[in-house]
Amino acid sequence: MRPIPRSGPREWVEPSTPAEFSDAKYDLGRFRLEDLIKGDEVEGLWRAHDKLLRRTVAVRLVPSTDPRQAALRDAACTAARVVDHRVSRVLDVLDQNGTLLIVTEWVDGISLEQILHSPMTTARSLVVTRGIIEALVRIHAAGTTHGRLRPASVMVTESGEVQLRGHCIDALLYGVAPGDDPVAADINGIGALMMACLTARWPGAPVSGLPTPPIVGGKLATPSQLVADLPRDFNDYVIRALASVPGPTTVDPGCDPFDTVLEARRAFSALGAPPPASPPPATHGPFLIGDPHEEVIRRKAGRRTMAVLAALGVVGTVSAVGFSLLMTSGGTNTATAGMTAPPPSASASVTIEPRLLEVTPSPEVKPAIPRSYPIAGINIFDPSGAGIVRDTTSRLSIDEDVSTAWYTNTYRRQNFTKNRGIGLIVDLGQPVPVKVIELGLVGNDTDLQIRTADTLSTALDGYTEVSRLTGAPGQVTIREPRAITARYVLIWLTGMPAATDGFRGGIRSVDIRND
């Protein structure tokens, strides 16, 4: 990373560039704008290619007409002081003909907002929360804050690490929230994100994809009122963190809130601790998958149940956080499945908090009715190569962990040529009526086809095309007007999202039903 002068950005001097970039519409010096993520061509966030260092980056454009340009320049320079693998780095701040370019690291992963379709296990929730806390400790140690934590601010990478993005800049763009103190907002965000992991509900301003907790006695429901058998110290920790920014529905504004992120970290390290005779092993750095402290949490928390309080009418399925290992270009797919919690130890004790008898359910909550078809088998379909490949990595797309995934290889081109691609064949065991196919995809901007057949074939023409999507986002639902009877469903990928060193796609969840 080039050093950034504190006085402001430097002027970019155009180097010699290849001829194919010289007259491109979206060529800004060393950066080639490739995909608009948010905003517009004048003021927006782009996925871009750094021609000098040959890597994918994110570039935010701030025109000279924006009155916040100077403040955003200063905020970006301040944010660049944070250098940590848990934080999306600000790589450069440049002036390009009066337009401010804020260049940040491009994070390959899935946002927490996309993962939280259902609650995580207690152990996984603490893994993610620990990563968030450690990232905030580094940010605060650099003399700045995040100021506006949301589930979309948290990325979970392919190795299962947490990476925080938008520090310092998001608060300036959209305002500090909640409250007006960015330090208190960050502490509150720790509690809100931990509650989101435990309950798949967001206890703050509405965000896309996550419902708010119901109101119980005029206050927001606590995690223990939504999750059966949650240890009391976990519940109390969330309440203390949320109390840093009190509001009309704060559970207990008079409790002892955390004053600093360091204090929140110290309290967090005691969660799930064993009896004094068996102190937990010391941990340093990120709380990642495989940390020995996770086993301690399992013994205390026990097995999570599959249902929450019947009075709330909320049914949650258990999910986990973890990613399959990224395969190398042209190599064999390899992956790791997400870890599941074992049965509780006989010596473990769980404190169950008393439940309230009178509960006002959230009006949008409806009982979940499972209507998904069981999947008898799933295999890789590569007619131009090995044909039908029986590889265990394909099952990562249908396990209970929505953050594990089957990945394609990495390709140099985004789109395949005609009648070429790669995908998965789902075997439903027998011909059944199919009307709804819900897919969790890796990344955004995937081109795909849905094809069906009653008999297995190694040729693409053996499957009838029923749907085609271009530029699909990370979560899509394909609903046919009339049910199609089929035993085999082919999910055929023909265009891949951008990755760090090329283009790569994948499938992280498959749900087929007849609604």
| Band of pLDDT at residue 142, cut at 50, 70 and 90 | very high
Average pLDDT of 72-91?
93
| Band of pLDDT at residue 130, cut at 50, 70 and 90 | very high
Taking all residues of the chain, what is their mean pLDDT, rounded to a whole number?
Answer: 77
Average pLDDT of 228-232?
88
Range in 103-112, 225-234, 366-375 with the lowest mean pLDDT: 366-375
HSE (side-chain half, CA atoms, 13 Å) at 251: 27
pLDDT tens digits, one per residue of 382-440: 888 778 988 888 999 998 776 688 999 888 888 887 778 999 999 999 999 998 899 98
Range in 183-197, 314-328, 350-364, 415-429 with the lowest mean pLDDT: 314-328
pLDDT at 182 over 90: yes
- For the chain, the straight-line distance linking the first and the last C-alpha, in angstroms and rounded, comes to 52
| Band of pLDDT at residue 208, cut at 50, 70 and 90 | low
pLDDT of residue 243: 93
Per DSSP (E only), the strands in 3-144 are 10-11, 27-28, 31-39, 44-50, 55-62, 90-96, 99-105, 109-111
| Band of pLDDT at residue 5, cut at 50, 70 and 90 | very low
pLDDT at 368 over 60: no
pLDDT at 165 over 70: yes
pLDDT at 6 over 60: no
| Centroid of chain to Cα 128 | 10
pLDDT of residue 308: 32
pLDDT at 275 over 50: no
| Band of pLDDT at residue 330, cut at 50, 70 and 90 | very low
Per DSSP (E only), the strands in 358-402 are 377-382, 387-389
| Band of pLDDT at residue 76, cut at 50, 70 and 90 | very high
pLDDT of residue 273: 58
| Band of pLDDT at residue 139, cut at 50, 70 and 90 | very high
Distances from the Cα of 473 to the Cαs of 125, 201, 486, in angstroms? 25, 22, 26
Average pLDDT of 497-510?
86
Cα–Cα nearest to 388, from 377, 402, 399, 396: 377
Which amino acid, 46? W
Q: Residue 488: enclosing H or E segment and its boundaries?
A: strand 475-495
Cα–Cα nearest to 488, from 382, 334, 350, 376: 376
pLDDT of residue 197: 95
pLDDT of residue 320: 35
pLDDT at 344 over 70: no
Strand partners, 334: none
pLDDT at 270 over 50: yes
pLDDT at 347 over 60: no
Q: Which domains does the chain have, with CATH numbers?
A: 10-105 (3.30.200.20), 110-301 (1.10.510.10), 377-513 (2.60.120.260)
Range in 259-263, 335-339, 478-482 with the lowest mean pLDDT: 335-339
Average pLDDT of 151-166?
90
pLDDT at 495 over 80: yes
**Is the previous residue joined to 178 through a cis bond, with omega within 30 degrees of 0?**
yes
Average pLDDT of 160-177?
93
Question: By three-state DSSP, how is residue 122 classified?
Answer: helix
Q: How far apart are CA 58 and CA 27, in angstroms?
A: 14
pLDDT tens digits, one per residue of 238-264: 999 999 998 877 767 668 899 999 999
Greater model confidence, 10 or 77: 77
Average pLDDT of 338-357?
37
Rounded CA Rg of the chain: 24
Which amino acid, 115? I
| DSSP 8-state secondary structure symbol assigned to residue 77 | H
Average pLDDT of 139-145?
94
